[in-house]
Amino acid sequence: MNKSANVALTLPDGSVRTYPGPVTGSILAADIGPGLTKAAIAIVVNGDQWDLSREIEQNSDVAIITNRDEAALEILRHDAAHILAEAVKELYPEVQVTIGPAIDNGFYYDFARDIPFTTDDLAIIEKRMVEIIERDEDIIRSEMDRNDAVKFFHNMGEDYKAELIAAIPEGQAITLYKQGDFIDLCRGPHLPSTGKLGKDCFKLMKVAGAYWRGDSNNEMLQRIYGTAWRTKKELKAYLIRLEEAEKRDHRKLGKQMKLFHFQEEAAGMPFWHPNGWTIYQEIEAYIRRIQKNYSYQEIKTPQLVDRILWEKSGHADKFHEHMYTTESDNRTFALKPMNCPCHVQVFNQGIVSYRDLPLRMAEFGSCHRYEPSGALHGLMRVRSFVQDDAHIFCTEEQITDECITFCKMLLEVYKDFGFEDVKVKFSDRPDVRAGNDNVWDKAEAALIAAVDSAGLDYTLNPGEGAFYGPKLEFVLTDAIGRDWQCGTFQVDYVLPERLDAQYVGSDNDKHRPVMLHRAILGSFERFIGILIEEHAGRFPMWLAPTQVVVTGITSDQDDHVRSVYKQLIAAGLRAEMDLRSEKINYKIREHSHAKTPAIYVVGAREAEENTVTVRRLGSKQQRTLDLNAAINDLKAESLAPDQR
């Protein structure tokens, strides 16, 4: 070790402060100014986050983290988790603590306790947390030998902690943090004292079950979630954001806007109503046009296929518990959970020449999967769904080009739906998989080469590939910053082998094609759910179930309203008319609530002049336009993005 008597600390602005010996972040902060003493939370030492109380013994580049820094949030939240654990241990000493990390927007802590926490407990715990913050306990770091630490926690009755430490490699020092009487295993860093967390900057949110170490074979722990922020204002803003997100909830809007419903007799399987089905059909027609442009052929295959096919394909092996089956003819049939094996059957009819490749086969195939009951979530996770599914049969040499073209197509589609921000993840071989390692080496190499050629940045998602091949996953970000994984592109050498797909090459020999599985939207159900939340129900004109409502001021205009309505329908628009004897205020309010994008009002004046007064959703402005001009505007606006 290169210890010098003097310790020189270089600050971000380049200035250097020298101390005669080891120095702590706190001392440094105090030297710089009293304001910083108060605001300081931790210190970055040569890129690592340290506690303010930890002694710096060598010359270092340092930066003090204050509560104004983003980095402060994670530390703060981690501390909130510790304060939560301390409060729980004080209130319920029989509870064992396990882990409690900072997460997006907050923190959680998992406890082992026979009796689950209730929401009433949350208020009590929260109160105790405030007390701990007011006590302003010092948070003290110490190190302990691994084996000593295991004993230490066992003696305290904290078996889970002991198990965690036992899993840390031998010889590695263990850091402990003590605040009041509460000691926890932790990497740190932490705030200097509990008082640094604002007592009105956090809130406990919910209780939930969570498996020990995330494994469903293990016992279930009691998890308490909380949110924590630097300021009360930030906390409030976050809570408002949650409320806003709730308003967009597609399940709520789906009901309100009469798009679809679910019921007990068909859990997880949507009943589409006329409004929702209109959106669905628009999207399907759009995708069909795009696919045609990209030289896909559309097919349709059976819903019910003998189990034997699923055994051959390997799906039954891995997913039989998630497949619906039915008996008939002394055979077991499975409702198809996916389309690919059926597409291979189509491919296998007759003889395909290398000249026919790449062969792009698309199907809006209705699939069923018995999803675990706890997984169901509105349209986002269903048991019956349709994908914009397609399989490309091609040669190895064609993979790259196909991938490039697909990426282009996918970005085009996302853009048409208003999603410009797209992330790509590359998922490689999972532990449980079909096909030998040579095949996987080949498939992964081909896919990486392809995505590189497509010019897309991607992040690695190790072990998350499909059982038959690696995949790219396309993630889009919605209007309120949430990520949704939708598109996929998978390279598959396994299924063609298992289902014996062949083509005749230019050498007149038989060869295996490679199969590329791909989807852009993923499931229509889920994508529509995403769109509902993206637009908060205010669909763009081309998707709006009702595009325009015509209504009169008084019943004297009824005939004229009928005539305008007929012209709108004749123009191919999804129009409604409202002839009820309600006041115009009432009708405007109602149709605005229904999120109808355009309202045409005809009073005596408009009827006389053959005009309409147009009111657009979200605007109080009224514009009186010539009827034909208004209809033409609406027609232009209601074209799908690819038709403009």
Q: Show which residues are catalytic.
A: 340, 369, 387, 389, 391, 471, 517
The reply on whether position 12 binds RNA by CB under 7 A is no
Stretch that binds RNA, among 18-26, 200-208, 231-239, 440-448 (CB under 7 A): 200-208
Listed residue (203, 213, 31) closest to 110, CA to CA: 213
Beta bridge partners, 328, equal 331
The reply on whether position 467 binds RNA by CB under 7 A is yes
Site for RNA (CB under 7 A): which residue of 61, 371, 401, 637? 371
Residue spans of beta strands (DSSP E) within 483-568: 483-492, 503-504, 510-511, 514-523, 548-552
Least CB distance from residue 211 to RNA, whole Å? 4
Residue spans of beta strands (DSSP E) within 286-437: 297-298, 304-306, 325-328, 331-335, 359-363, 366-368, 384-394, 422-427
Instruction: Decide whether 459 or 622 has the Cβ nearer to RNA.
Output: 622
Contact status, residue 78 vs residue 106, Cβ threshold 8 Å: no
CA distances from 475 to 68, 411, 438, 458, 472 (A): 31, 11, 29, 11, 10
Instruction: Decide whether 208 or 299 has the Cβ nearer to RNA.
Output: 208
The reply on whether position 305 binds RNA by CB under 7 A is no
Whose tokens are 């590939």? That residue is 465
Q: How far apart are CA 47 and CA 49, in angstroms?
A: 7
Least CB distance from residue 387 to RNA, whole Å? 9
Site for RNA (CB under 7 A): which residue of 38, 68, 187, 206? 206
The reply on whether position 517 binds RNA by CB under 7 A is yes
Site for RNA (CB under 7 A): which residue of 618, 629, 636, 643? 618
The reply on whether position 120 binds RNA by CB under 7 A is no
Stretch that binds RNA, among 82-90, 143-151, 373-381, 401-409 (CB under 7 A): 373-381
Q: How far apart are CA 89 and CA 536, in angstroms?
A: 43
The reply on whether position 337 binds RNA by CB under 7 A is yes
The reply on whether position 9 binds RNA by CB under 7 A is no
Q: Is 561 exposed, middle or buried (0-12, 13-18, 19+ CB in 10 A)?
A: buried
Footprint of RNA on residues 479-498 (CB under 7 A)? 490
The reply on whether position 592 binds RNA by CB under 7 A is yes
Least CB distance from residue 585 to RNA, whole Å? 4
The reply on whether position 312 binds RNA by CB under 7 A is no
Site for RNA (CB under 7 A): which residue of 2, 6, 169, 620? 620
Least CB distance from residue 478 to RNA, whole Å? 16
Site for RNA (CB under 7 A): which residue of 220, 404, 504, 536? 220
Least CB distance from residue 617 to RNA, whole Å? 6
Site for RNA (CB under 7 A): which residue of 11, 32, 71, 208? 208
Least CB distance from residue 165 to RNA, whole Å? 21
Rg, C-alpha atoms of the chain: 31
Residues in the chain: 644
Site for RNA (CB under 7 A): which residue of 60, 194, 222, 291? 222
Residue ranges of the alpha helices (H) in 314-429?
315-319, 340-348, 399-416
Question: What string marks each residue from 622 to 641 as x (binds RNA by CB under 7 A) or -?
Answer: x-x-----------------
Site for RNA (CB under 7 A): which residue of 89, 381, 429, 535? 381
CA distances from 285 to 277, 412, 543, 601, 640 (A): 12, 16, 11, 31, 10
Instruction: Decide whether 203 or 251 has the Cβ nearer to RNA.
Output: 251
Stretch that binds RNA, among 67-75, 182-190, 215-223, 416-424 (CB under 7 A): 215-223
Q: How far apart are CA 296 and CA 389, in angstroms?
A: 11
Beta bridge partners, 179, equal 139, 182
The reply on whether position 610 binds RNA by CB under 7 A is no
Q: Which residue type does 48 have?
A: D
Backbone φ, ψ for residue 457 (5° rounding)? -80, 145
**Helix (H) and strand (E) counts for the chain?**
20, 36
Least CB distance from residue 206 to RNA, whole Å? 4
Contact status, residue 240 vs residue 489, Cβ threshold 8 Å: no
Stretch that binds RNA, among 130-138, 353-361, 369-377, 528-536 (CB under 7 A): 369-377
Instruction: Decide whether 2 or 373 has the Cβ nearer to RNA.
Output: 373
Q: How far apart are CA 388 and CA 75, in angstroms?
A: 43
Least CB distance from residue 417 to RNA, whole Å? 21
Instruction: Decide whether 141 or 322 has the Cβ nearer to RNA.
Output: 322
Query: Coil, strand or helix: which one is 586?
Result: helix
Least CB distance from residue 367 to RNA, whole Å? 8
Instruction: Decide whether 105 or 453 has the Cβ nearer to RNA.
Output: 105
Instruction: Decide whether 50 or 524 has the Cβ nearer to RNA.
Output: 524
Whose tokens are 């770091």? That residue is 141
The reply on whether position 338 binds RNA by CB under 7 A is yes
The reply on whether position 409 binds RNA by CB under 7 A is no
Least CB distance from residue 122 to RNA, whole Å? 11
Site for RNA (CB under 7 A): which residue of 12, 21, 33, 116? 116
Stretch that binds RNA, among 29-37, 70-78, 158-166, 589-597 (CB under 7 A): 589-597
Q: How far apart are CA 402 and CA 499, in angstroms?
A: 22
Footprint of RNA on residues 542-571 (CB under 7 A)? 553-556
The reply on whether position 203 binds RNA by CB under 7 A is no
Site for RNA (CB under 7 A): which residue of 100, 226, 268, 513? 268
Site for RNA (CB under 7 A): which residue of 171, 350, 374, 455? 374
189 cis-preceded (ω within 30 degrees of 0): yes
Instruction: Decide whether 558 or 642 has the Cβ nearer to RNA.
Output: 558
Residue spans of beta strands (DSSP E) within 35-123: 40-45, 48-50, 55-56, 60-66, 96-97, 102-103, 106-112
CA distances from 172 to 98, 142, 146, 149, 596 (A): 20, 14, 7, 11, 64
Instruction: Decide whether 137 or 492 has the Cβ nearer to RNA.
Output: 492
Listed residue (560, 543, 582, 28) closest to 275, CA to CA: 543
Site for RNA (CB under 7 A): which residue of 2, 330, 373, 506? 373
331 DSSP assignment:
E
Residue spans of beta strands (DSSP E) within 79-188: 96-97, 102-103, 106-112, 139-144, 174-179, 182-185
Footprint of RNA on residues 273-292 (CB under 7 A)? none
The reply on whether position 323 binds RNA by CB under 7 A is yes
Instruction: Decide whether 24 or 596 has the Cβ nearer to RNA.
Output: 596
Pair of tokens at residue 179: 């605040």
Least CB distance from residue 524 to RNA, whole Å? 16
- The CB-side HSE value for 210 (13 A sphere, CA atoms) comes to 19
